[in-house]
């Protein structure tokens, strides 16, 4: 296990380097001038040229890349082209807001999806089962940006029950619509996987043995069947955590939620290279550590799973 963990951690570094290199090349080769965007349309050619020199944009691409890697090796993500603030500080200031939305969506999706999947498996081929499967297909196929707009139209514009834009720390209503928008596809996936996993193990030998010992059906489901049925669900939760972080870009933009997704969107629209590179690097490293945590969780949920060096 120790050698496996060490090998996986070492793989993170070249993978992160490949990600930031790809993002660096994509940003610098894409059309758009950060200096012109930052100064506005009224800027003169001399002003733009001066800004490009200050930002180092007139240097050869290889020189810019080496300078970027040198700063990154020192733990410096650079400063924003627009606000001139350190990128690391911008990420840390927006991270709690995005984590709040992400974990609310993850918690809500897990509770609803696992519960719906368990009941659907226990009541297989019932009206509830068919209704759950139909709702899961609809939820999975519904784009979160379309669902976000629909929720705003219904609950903010027509019913006026919930706010649609922004965030206030003391008002939990602001997080409801963004959470629902992010949760719908994940609820569908978790419900389907939980149902399939429960149907696979619910009639297995060890579950029948537990019933033969006189355990209550609730204890059989919770202690024996559910633990093994949750292994594919854990995989999806880990992978979908990265997807939720990426999905916040669209949802945060629609709801004007001041998190990392909104920061990434504004960075792309303003060609703020350091901000985009820093946020994407952060997302990629988090995703790789989450997948590592998922692999290690396997051995806890299923003692038969072991990782060898």
As a whole number of Å, the end-to-end CA separation of the chain is: 6
Window from 132-146, 215-229, 243-257, 263-277 with minimum mean pLDDT: 215-229
CA distances from 146 to 123, 224, 294 (A): 32, 39, 30
**Domains in the chain: boundaries:** 95-301
For the record, the structure tokens of 37 come out as: 């965007």
| pLDDT tens, residue by residue, 54-103 | 888 888 888 889 998 898 888 888 888 888 899 999 999 998 888 888 88
What dihedral do alpha carbons 66, 70, 71, 77 form, nearest 10°?
Answer: 60
Average pLDDT over residues 206-214: 68
Residue 83: name the closest of 127, 146, 38 by CA.
38
Contact yes or no for 119/199 (Cβ under 8 A): no
Confidence band (pLDDT; 50, 70, 90) for 300? low
| pLDDT tens, residue by residue, 102-129 | 888 889 988 998 888 888 888 888 888 8
Planar angle of CA 73, 75, 79, nearest 5 degrees: 110
Looking at the chain, the number of H-run helices and the number of E-run strands are 14, 0
For the record, the structure tokens of 255 come out as: 């709801």
Residue 224 has pLDDT above 70, yes or no: no
For the chain, the maximum distance between any two Cα atoms, rounded to a whole number of angstroms, is 85
Please count the residues of the chain: 309
For the record, the structure tokens of 205 come out as: 């030998």
For residues 227 and 217, what is the distance between their CA atoms, to the nearest angstrom? 14
- Fold of the 95-301 domain: MetI-like fold (1.10.3720)
Query: CB under 8 Å to 268, separation ≥6 — which residues?
Result: 276
**Cα of 114 vs its chain's centroid, Å:** 19
Query: CB under 8 Å to 195, separation ≥6 — which residues?
Result: 117, 118, 120, 121, 129, 132, 133
Residue 131 has pLDDT above 60, yes or no: yes
Average pLDDT over residues 172-198: 87
């Amino acid at each position: 296990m120790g050698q496996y963990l060490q090998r996986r951690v070492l793989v993170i570094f070249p993978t992160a380097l490949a990600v930031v290199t790809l993002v660096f090349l994509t940003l610098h080769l894409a059309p758009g001038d950060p200096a012109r965007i930052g100064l506005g349309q009224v800027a003169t050619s001399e002003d733009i040229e001066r800004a490009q020199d200050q930002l180092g944009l007139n240097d050869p691409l290889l020189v810019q890349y080496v300078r970027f890697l040198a700063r990154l090796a020192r733990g410096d993500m650079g400063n924003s082209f627009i606000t001139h603030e350190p990128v690391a500080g911008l990420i840390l200031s927006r991270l709690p807001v995005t984590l709040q939305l992400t974990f609310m969506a993850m918690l809500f999706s897990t509770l609803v999806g696992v519960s719906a999947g368990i009941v659907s498996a226990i009541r297989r081929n019932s009206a509830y089962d068919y209704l759950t499967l139909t709702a899961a297909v609809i939820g999975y196929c519904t784009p979160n940006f379309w669902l976000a707009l629909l929720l705003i139209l219904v609950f903010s514009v027509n019913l006026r029950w919930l706010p649609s834009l922004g965030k206030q720390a003391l008002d939990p209503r602001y997080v409801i619509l963004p959470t629902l928008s992010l949760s719908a596809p994940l609820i569908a996936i978790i419900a389907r996987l939980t149902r399939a996993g429960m149907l696979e193990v619910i009639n297995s030998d060890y579950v029948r043995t537990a019933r033969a010992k006189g355990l209550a059906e609730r204890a059989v489901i919770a202690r024996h069947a559910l633990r093994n049925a949750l292994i594919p669900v854990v995989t999806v939760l880990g992978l979908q955590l990265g997807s939720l972080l990426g999905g916040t870009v669209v949802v945060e933009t629609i709801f004007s939620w001041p998190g990392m997704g909104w920061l990434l969107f504004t960075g792309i629209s303003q060609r703020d290279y350091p901000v985009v590179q820093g946020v994407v690097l952060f997302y990629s490293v988090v995703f790789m550590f989450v997948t590592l945590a998922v692999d290690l969780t396997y051995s806890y949920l299923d003692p038969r799973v072991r990782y060898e060096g």
